[in-house]
Structure 1
């Protein structure tokens, strides 16, 4: 387990509605995400896994509790400062790729840096591009790339700014098995070789088996935690009712 904490929640609660219609999407979650670790968040539909990721990433407000990225309590930040923190310290990979169709692969990868007025670290950029295998595709627009190549562009975009943490929301959801394996191998390598921290929401036990740690949510609470699990262990944990562990 890492001694560096990349993200933390304390008694995190997120509710929707009022009175009799109140729904607790997150019900008092205490969680630490270790730096340099690959964590998967899993659970049935409505369990709160996407809500947890969105709150951790500062994409959604919380009802009560505390969320920290590194040593910064993001729940206390003004919107302008939160936007800057997301831009400078957080990377995102989405199921739908979220690439700009009129830009080349290279322009999409460096877009967050351009928006921030920063130049890419050329040595790091080259390392990321060669690691993800996009060297001969940098001039292509998204429509000229396969789904797997588009997602690798999205992964490179998330990594090139050297964020403190990357949040990946079903990153293999739109990919075939071969492309999924390529993207997961890249994410795994970025943790092992680049000391990147990744939090991935997924419903896929095969994808989750690439991670260091799997958190299983039910009804807005963490009910199980598995370290270095196999696909079979994940399936068993997802199928079995378990006591709340945190």
Structure 2
């Protein structure tokens, strides 16, 4: 059964540099991201996976093509409208956590809402906090939390505003295997239990195994996709990239 798209890339192209130094990071990528699904983006170094996510998340502008987020066409939006789109409809989780060191865990979680001048939905806040297991750590600052706890704060911050879609860039890259499993399980449950839409960029087949679908990029193009992946199947597919030649 087809899933409604929460986000869409339409013939996305991204070119860096000019002349002989020109790099085509994206070569006409078109893809839909399903509502209430977790999608992983994978590919070898230089494949364009981070560029695709940055364009989808309105953190970078494509050279050509368009991005649609929850029915909003990104191309042509002015800076103020882009800021509002990122604030109101998008959530972000970064490998480096990006927490404010002087704020408590609770203050970090509610920061996007505070900046936007929006009231905290206490019932939803409590559900998110309890789901990520932070109830007894809300008064602690980031320096008083483990890496896994800091990333749980970052996950809660991304979800507390009920964004249309969450983009996560190597969200478990700085975590040990146990903390990684906890974060990935939470992200997975947020799609299944709460209908959240999530896109993660990862190099880890284990992380990709938690997704509903994996997109494989090479040389700025989507070359394959896998539905209902497992870590073993993803690893086997990644080995196939050894034979993918680089195009000019």
What is the TM-score when the length of structure 2 is the normalising length? Answer: 0.96
The CA distance in 2 between the partners of 1:232 and 1:183, in whole Å, is 20
Q: CA RMSD in A?
A: 1.1
Gaps of 5+ in 2: none
Residues 108, 153 of structure 1: 8 Å contact kept: yes
2:129 aligned with 1:162: no
Q: Give the 3-state SS of the residue equivalent to 1:76 in structure 2.
A: coil
Aligned length: 243
| 1:236 corresponding residue in structure 2 | 236
Partner in structure 1 of residue 197 of structure 2: 197
- The 2-side partners of 1:70 and 1:38 are apart by 16
Aligned position for 2:21: 21
Distance 2:2 2:179 in 1: 30
CA distance in 2, matches of 1:3, 1:76: 27
Matches within 5 A, 1:140-155: 140-155=140-155
Name 1:9's counterpart in structure 2. Answer: 9
Distance 2:141 2:119 in 1: 21
CA distance in 2, matches of 1:114, 1:2: 37
- Cross-structure match for 2:130: 130
Aligned to 1:223: 223
Using the alignment, how far apart are the partners of 2:4 and 2:214 within structure 1?
18
Determine if contact 1:2/1:37 at 8 Å carries over to the other structure: no
1:91 equivalent in alignment to 2:74 = no
Structure 1, gaps ≥5 residues long = none
TM-score calculated relative to the size of structure 1: 0.97
- Cα displacement string for residues 88-115 of structure 1 (whole angstroms, at most 9, x for unaligned residues): 0000000000000000000000000000
Question: 3-state SS of the aligned residue for 2:83?
Answer: helix
Q: Following TM superposition, by how much is the alpha carbon of 1:2 offset from its aligned partner in structure 2, in angstroms?
A: 4.9
Deviations 1:19-63 (A, max 9, x none): 222110000001000100000000011100000000000000110
Q: Structure 2 CA distance, aligned partners of 1:200 and 1:125?
A: 23
Q: Distance in 2 between matches of 1:195 and 1:51?
A: 26
Q: Deviations over 1:125-146 (max 9, x none)?
A: 0000000000000000000000
Aligned-partner Cα distance in 2 for 1:17–1:168 = 26
